């Protein structure tokens, strides 16, 4: 009888244990399969990820974009990049499109060129 109780305890412990990187309770916003490691749970915290799209007329830096969304910019924090540019907002909102990648500092002006939308790399709170 005692062996049975020990076996049950071991079995319950094994079933309730969680992998090291799964203790964020599904709160992390993954950037997608083309950006491995971006937005994932690491050591109990979510890594930076690309925030919602911002448009050219609303912001001039990623620091401003992240602040407007209630977070902090993470320079080079998304796979080495700080932001992704898109020609139009609709393309920025399409999860299948990666955009043009830039690795600048958060307070540097976004290099818009002919683009109108951006996804900045921001900390996940």
Tens digits of residue pLDDT in 50-94: 999 999 999 999 999 999 999 999 999 999 999 999 999 999 999
CB 89 within 8 A of CB 53: yes
Chain Cα centroid distance, residue 53: 13
So what's the pLDDT on residue 46?
96
The rounded distance, in Å, linking the Cα atoms of 89 and 87 is 7
The answer to pTM > 0.85 is: no
pLDDT tens column, 16-25: 333 444 579 8
Name the pLDDT band for 9 (thresholds 50, 70, 90).
Answer: very low
What 3-state class would DSSP assign to 12?
helix
Torsion over CA of 90, 93, 95 and 99, rounded to 10 degrees?
70
Q: What is the pLDDT of residue 69?
A: 95
């Amino acid at each position: 009888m005692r062996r049975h109780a020990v076996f049950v305890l071991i079995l319950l412990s094994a079933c309730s244990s969680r992998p090291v990187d799964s203790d964020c309770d599904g709160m992390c916003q993954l950037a997608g399969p083309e950006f491995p490691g971006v937005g994932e749970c690491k050591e109990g915290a979510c890594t930076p990820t690309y925030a919602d799209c911002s448009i050219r007329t609303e912001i001039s830096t990623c620091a401003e974009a992240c602040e407007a969304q209630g977070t902090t910019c993470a320079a080079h924090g998304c796979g080495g990049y700080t932001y992704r540019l898109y020609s139009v907002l609709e393309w920025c909102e399409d999860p299948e499109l990666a955009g043009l990648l830039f690795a600048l500092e958060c307070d540097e002006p976004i290099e818009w060129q002919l683009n109108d939308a951006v996804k900045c790399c921001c900390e996940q709170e």
